[in-house]
Copies of this chain bind each other. A is one copy, B any other.
């Protein structure tokens, strides 16, 4: 790719972005699209436009995003979103500060050097162009000008340390403020107890109650033994499905009355497989019948579940936040593998089936998952290669003879031959985040947010190793494989020497990602089309329409690793080809603006983890920085710069910095500090409400007064504190 084609691609991307932005301005004004562009505001009960300008100015959303404060974000979307913006603005800050020094200094230093024209050591596969003269590759070997690049490496690192430190402090404050909030939040009063040892002569409930009553005589409120809800969930979902179908059938019936026939047309359906076969029945009657049939079944199953399907885990409620916070951090039984007490997640993010998994099960699962992930990351090309080989046209013809006619056509043949391997790769890459999330849940993690953090970590290492290092070293690796075998240390110089050749590729990649990616994000074209299709063809009831525009959350599991890949790319090229810095700034600046808009108006958080994502982001930014420092060291070696060892302190400094941050800040992100938990509440918590909020929907009775049915699995103690207050 030469310079002009680079500019062309950049221009095209920008045009696409501009078109998408205009589309957004136009589409978001239409009230019919409110569900797509303002779902968060609607669900919060706000008027979509209240306080927002309705002008036709395509940049008004930018002004709104800029003027919103961190408090707005927290109140609209929670601490996790605010922490994500701290991440974006920290990285943005690092790149801006780095660019302010590196661009005016390094570009002239590189450009005015005589340059290494034809005899340059870096393989420039057609990338040798005007851009290259602005990069470190243009500086002669052993040139004293390389000192400027050494200093630049230090500058980038120091800037990163300072801003990361500030950010960690700030996030810690955000977390503390949220946890200190005088609002009553159920999860702050509950703890999760796992690995309850078997006991004779006592029910689980008695066992849990007596254990915790002895230790916390003043503050113990009540316990809820976790039950195996598989059966009851199935019944509940079935019932729920019929209820939805009934509502739909009634809506159709009501609709038919208004359109033509005054007495209406009662909808019918078939009772067999997928409503395609079987006898035809009146839908409303049929569903009513089914619901009446299932209701007593569900109630009976609920009773059985509560009485007989109790597992070795429980939720325990305390009347006070300090006790809950300190219980989580204390060893309760002498043997660590019994009575494990953990932070309770919010009710909505509890992964119920994972709760009864026992200590050793969890440990073993964790290691097995680590091994699987390691193998996936390192050898992921093997299954894909296998699939590609398997799906060659010749094989396909043999296996699926009916395709022969299609395949023999020349155009299709060429297309398929060109895209089949990529197709396998794309399908794999699409499924990977889901696979990693599945693996993380299989570890036995009790909360959704934790599983997403774990999956996002795995995905980060996958992208950095395979996309970044893979693309960079890629071609050269196999040809020089024997060199590496002889001397494994040569991987760093190899990576370093392949970097400049790929600068243009990554420049284009980053530009594409921010223009097209954020353009699509902002305009929400795909959700818009899906919403309108659904509303037209499928939705009959209000609930169904609401479901059709349900916005989902930010999707940290894939979004953060994606951003991290950009961070890694920009860090690693920042000194070698400083021209990448503006692109990084644009990516994170634009990202900040677009996502600010989306967070305030569109996305609805699926959970609140009070910023627990931050330590993961912090560690990964540092990992990228470390990779950058090591590659720079290698690249200075390639440049035969005798003073390259002056860079050795940098990786050590990074490790020390990571160690100090971990020591100083991390424990507060694992568990709540007592000085935070001991803040006054604005009201005496209604423990009954807190307790009820944790009952899974499939078990919660419709009426509030049939309390006695929970007595089997859920204990109740008239709290002394509550009664004495």
Interface residues of A (CB under 8 A from B): 172, 176, 211, 214-216, 218, 322, 325-327, 329-337, 339, 363, 663-668, 671-676, 678
- A336 with B665: CB separation less than 8 A: yes
- B334 with A215: CB separation less than 8 A: no
Chosen A-B contacts, 21 in total, with CB atoms closer than 8 Å, are A211-B675, A214-B675, A215-B322, A216-B322, A218-B218, A326-B326, A326-B329, A326-B330, A329-B329, A330-B330, A330-B671, A331-B671, A331-B672, A331-B673, A332-B674, A334-B668, A334-B675, A335-B664, A335-B668, A336-B665, A337-B663
For the complex formed, measure the closest distance between the CB of A668 and the CB atoms of chain B, giving whole angstroms. 5
Known: A329-B331, A336-B664, A337-B664. 13 other contacts (CB 8 A): A211-B675, A214-B678, A215-B322, A215-B674, A326-B329, A329-B330, A330-B330, A331-B673, A332-B673, A332-B674, A335-B665, A335-B668, A336-B668
- B339 with A675: CB separation less than 8 A: yes
Which chain B residues border A665 with CB–CB below 8 Å?
335-336
Q: When the two chains form the complex, which single residue of B330, B337, B664 contacts A325, counting CB atoms closer than 8 Å?
A: B330
Copies in the complex: 2
Which of A214, A322, A331, A675 has the most CB atoms of chain B within a 10 A radius of its CB?
Answer: A331
Alpha-carbon separation in the docked complex, A322 to B336 (Å): 18
Which chain B residues border A326 with CB–CB below 8 Å?
326-327, 329-330
The 10 closest A-B pairs by CB, nearest first: A326-B330, A329-B330, A215-B678, A334-B668, A331-B673, A334-B673, A215-B674, A336-B667, A326-B326, A332-B674
Alpha-carbon separation in the docked complex, A441 to B322 (Å): 35
Alpha-carbon separation in the docked complex, A172 to B363 (Å): 22
Which of A176, A218, A673 has the most CB atoms of chain B within a 10 A radius of its CB?
Answer: A673
Q: Which residue of B lies closest to A175 (CB)?
A: B334
Which chain B residues border A663 with CB–CB below 8 Å?
336-337, 363
For the complex formed, measure the closest distance between the CB of A323 and the CB atoms of chain B, giving whole angstroms. 9
Which chain B residues border A331 with CB–CB below 8 Å?
329, 667-668, 671-674
Main secondary structure on chain A at its contact with chain B? helix
- B211 with A332: CB separation less than 8 A: no
Alpha-carbon separation in the docked complex, A430 to B47 (Å): 83
Alpha-carbon separation in the docked complex, A330 to B326 (Å): 6
For the complex formed, measure the closest distance between the CB of A224 and the CB atoms of chain B, giving whole angstroms. 20
- B218 with A675: CB separation less than 8 A: no
Which chain B residues border A214 with CB–CB below 8 Å?
675, 678
- A675 with B332: CB separation less than 8 A: yes
Alpha-carbon separation in the docked complex, A666 to B664 (Å): 24
Which chain B residues border A172 with CB–CB below 8 Å?
334-335
Q: Which residue of B lies closest to A678 (CB)?
A: B215
- B675 with A333: CB separation less than 8 A: yes
Alpha-carbon separation in the docked complex, A664 to B359 (Å): 10
For the complex formed, measure the closest distance between the CB of A661 and the CB atoms of chain B, giving whole angstroms. 10
For the complex formed, measure the closest distance between the CB of A365 and the CB atoms of chain B, giving whole angstroms. 15
Which chain B residues border A672 with CB–CB below 8 Å?
331
Which of A218, A322, A330, A678 has the most CB atoms of chain B within a 10 A radius of its CB?
Answer: A330
Alpha-carbon separation in the docked complex, A336 to B665 (Å): 6
Which chain B residues border A329 with CB–CB below 8 Å?
326, 329-331
Which of A218, A363, A666, A678 has the most CB atoms of chain B within a 10 A radius of its CB?
Answer: A678
Alpha-carbon separation in the docked complex, A339 to B668 (Å): 13
Which chain B residues border A332 with CB–CB below 8 Å?
673-675
Which chain B residues border A218 with CB–CB below 8 Å?
218
For the complex formed, measure the closest distance between the CB of A553 and the CB atoms of chain B, giving whole angstroms. 27
For the complex formed, measure the closest distance between the CB of A324 and the CB atoms of chain B, giving whole angstroms. 11
Alpha-carbon separation in the docked complex, A668 to B335 (Å): 7
Alpha-carbon separation in the docked complex, A665 to B214 (Å): 22
Alpha-carbon separation in the docked complex, A339 to B675 (Å): 10
Which of A326, A329, A332 has the most CB atoms of chain B within a 10 A radius of its CB?
Answer: A326
Alpha-carbon separation in the docked complex, A331 to B326 (Å): 8
For the complex formed, measure the closest distance between the CB of A444 and the CB atoms of chain B, giving whole angstroms. 15
Alpha-carbon separation in the docked complex, A155 to B346 (Å): 51
For the complex formed, measure the closest distance between the CB of A519 and the CB atoms of chain B, giving whole angstroms. 40
Known interface pairs A363-B663, A663-B363. Does A676 touch B322 (Cβ–Cβ under 8 Å)?
no
Alpha-carbon separation in the docked complex, A334 to B678 (Å): 12
Known interface pairs A218-B218, A326-B326, A663-B363. Does A673 touch B333 (Cβ–Cβ under 8 Å)?
yes
Known interface pairs A330-B325, A331-B329, A363-B663. Does A675 touch B336 (Cβ–Cβ under 8 Å)?
no
Q: Which residue of B lies closest to A663 (CB)?
A: B336
For the complex formed, measure the closest distance between the CB of A119 and the CB atoms of chain B, giving whole angstroms. 40
Q: Which residue of B lies closest to A668 (CB)?
A: B334
Alpha-carbon separation in the docked complex, A329 to B663 (Å): 16
Alpha-carbon separation in the docked complex, A187 to B673 (Å): 24
Q: Which residue of B lies closest to A326 (CB)?
A: B330
Which chain B residues border A676 with CB–CB below 8 Å?
334
Alpha-carbon separation in the docked complex, A339 to B664 (Å): 12
For the complex formed, measure the closest distance between the CB of A538 and the CB atoms of chain B, giving whole angstroms. 50
Alpha-carbon separation in the docked complex, A514 to B665 (Å): 52
Alpha-carbon separation in the docked complex, A335 to B172 (Å): 9
For the complex formed, measure the closest distance between the CB of A711 and the CB atoms of chain B, giving whole angstroms. 25
For the complex formed, measure the closest distance between the CB of A145 and the CB atoms of chain B, giving whole angstroms. 39
Alpha-carbon separation in the docked complex, A389 to B673 (Å): 58
Which chain B residues border A668 with CB–CB below 8 Å?
331, 334-336
Q: Which residue of B lies closest to A325 (CB)?
A: B330
For the complex formed, measure the closest distance between the CB of A551 and the CB atoms of chain B, giving whole angstroms. 33
Q: Which residue of B lies closest to A721 (CB)?
A: B218
For the complex formed, measure the closest distance between the CB of A349 and the CB atoms of chain B, giving whole angstroms. 23
Which chain B residues border A674 with CB–CB below 8 Å?
215, 330-332
Which of A176, A336, A666, A676 has the most CB atoms of chain B within a 10 A radius of its CB?
Answer: A336
Q: Which residue of B lies closest to A666 (CB)?
A: B336
Alpha-carbon separation in the docked complex, A331 to B327 (Å): 11
Alpha-carbon separation in the docked complex, A263 to B261 (Å): 138
Alpha-carbon separation in the docked complex, A519 to B322 (Å): 58
Alpha-carbon separation in the docked complex, A708 to B337 (Å): 49
Alpha-carbon separation in the docked complex, A363 to B664 (Å): 12
Q: Which residue of B lies closest to A662 (CB)?
A: B336
Which chain B residues border A337 with CB–CB below 8 Å?
663-664
Q: Which residue of B lies closest to A173 (CB)?
A: B334
Alpha-carbon separation in the docked complex, A333 to B330 (Å): 16
For the complex formed, measure the closest distance between the CB of A133 and the CB atoms of chain B, giving whole angstroms. 47
Alpha-carbon separation in the docked complex, A596 to B488 (Å): 58
Alpha-carbon separation in the docked complex, A94 to B205 (Å): 43
Q: Which residue of B lies closest to A671 (CB)?
A: B331
Alpha-carbon separation in the docked complex, A172 to B671 (Å): 27
Q: Which residue of B lies closest to A679 (CB)?
A: B214
- B176 with A334: CB separation less than 8 A: yes
Q: Which residue of B lies closest to A332 (CB)?
A: B674
Alpha-carbon separation in the docked complex, A329 to B664 (Å): 16
Alpha-carbon separation in the docked complex, A334 to B666 (Å): 9
